[in-house]
A and B are shown apart, each in its own frame.
Chain A
Amino acid sequence: MITPIEAGLLVFIVATAVMTALLRDVLAAIIVFGGYSLGMAILWIVLQAPDVGLTEAAVGAGVMTVLFLATIARTTRLTGLEATTVDVNLPAAALCVVFVLAVLTTVPALPAVGAGPGENPAFGEISEYYVEEAYDDTHVENVVTAVLVAYRGFDTFGEATVVFAAGVGVLAVLRRGVFE
């Protein structure tokens, strides 16, 4: 069910995620978060989604690292800390473990991807219509791209507008210079 490479990557991803939360120095947390993005993107490639992996690499590892660095350059970063990790709030950690266990018990009970229409309400005749008719309707070979840019064209246009506005906002903030 779960291949060795998936298991190794999951160990790597969970370890980096926990370290990002626990490391006291923000710069160290940013570095480890870059490792998290790298592991996540390899997992996307293992799951045969190279386009998502490429986006994760560019956004997670590239843009986010630089944005975080620009943020701590313009705020304060505590240096010379004695402790490497933050103190863990034990009740909150226990609550997180309980939540993870609850998710682990409920998710496997969901119908499998590709199950019949009667068992899986999310995989019915609508998705079959897209798979069968997407090329005739839009003349785009990739079904995912066809849905994104043709069937949901206005939705994607709105997303692009939001991303553009966010980029302009970030540039406007960064151009104001460092407050002394």
Chain B
Amino acid sequence: MIDVGESTLLLAGAVGTVLVSVLLLGRAMIGPTMQDRVIALNVIGSNAVIVIALLAAAFAEPAFLDIALVYALLNFLMSVAISKFTVERGGVL
């Protein structure tokens, strides 16, 4: 069982990663190109996977890791779909 200090540390790491995601929104806002925004969203998605993994450890709930796996796959799907759309107009998947 994880003691209180360790789970607090994991939660603090999750909070820091969320704050980094908030900063990344600035890049998604100003762009200037669509590629910048896609990469910003990709990094936000990777941060989401990290946050969920940290939360799974902090709450001692290994079932949350399944959601992190689904996220990693969806993140890749989203980036590929948007990138493909920007390169060849109308081609989604």
Contact = CB atoms under 8 A, between A and B. Distances in A.
Whether A and B are associated in the same complex: the answer reads: yes
Interface of A: 3-5, 8-9, 11-12, 15-16, 19, 23, 25, 27-28, 30-32, 34-35, 38-39, 41-42, 45-46, 48, 50, 53-54, 57-58, 61-62, 65-66, 69-70, 73-74, 84, 178
A45 B52 contact: yes
Given A32-B28, A54-B70, A69-B82, A178 B11 contact: no
B53 to A, nearest CB: 11
17 contacts: A3-B11, A5-B11, A5-B14, A15-B25, A31-B34, A35-B28, A38-B45, A38-B75, A42-B55, A45-B64, A48-B59, A61-B45, A66-B77, A66-B93, A69-B85, A73-B90, A84-B30
Contacts of B15: 4-5, 8
Q: Is the interface of A mostly helix, strand, loop or mixed?
A: helix
B81 A69 contact: yes
Contacts, number: 121
Contacts of B71: 38, 41, 57
A142 to B, nearest CB: 12
A65 B25 contact: no
Contacts of B60: none
